[in-house]
Amino acid sequence: MNFKLRQNNEYDFKISYFFAITPNEKSALYRTLGSSVMTYIDQSVSINGNDIKMSKNYKKVHDDLDALVYQGLKFYQNDLAYEFPGFSDIIKEKLKQFEDLNLKKSKFYQFGS
């Protein structure tokens, strides 16, 4: 609180508490998050013949993945009060590389001349 309580005034207090999750619940959370991320990635990638494309810009995919994990961990807090900072720039760079991927230039492209 940022002010002193005054006598003869009424105040309401809300006390929130957390309890530890079991190892089974923790592994279920990891599986659910992993499944959600993989499902999102599967839906963001389209294969058309020999062409692989992302349906969204790599920056949007990165932001959506961050939001997905943040929402999944919203009701969980660890002992160190460490929050998910988002996926690293390495992930963003790999998404950009995937967006720029051109299979026609690959060494083992079967349908080229």
pLDDT in tens, 37-90: 999 988 888 877 667 788 888 889 889 998 998 888 887 776 656 677 778 888
* 29 found inside a domain: yes
Domain housing 75: 23-104
What pTM, to 2 d.p., does this model score? 0.63
DSSP 36-61: HHHHHHHHHEEEETTEEEESS-HHHH
* 13 found inside a domain: no
9-13, 31-35, 106-110, range with the lowest pLDDT = 106-110
* 109 found inside a domain: no
Cα separation, 16 vs 63, in Å, equals: 30
* 86 found inside a domain: yes
Residue 113 has pLDDT above 50, yes or no: no
In the block, tokens 């993989």 appear at 38
Q: What is the pLDDT of residue 31?
A: 93
Cα separation, 66 vs 84, in Å, equals: 8
* 16 found inside a domain: no
Q: Name the 3-class secondary structure at 6.
A: coil
The total number of structural domains in the chain stands at 1
* 37 found inside a domain: yes
Cα separation, 52 vs 55, in Å, equals: 10
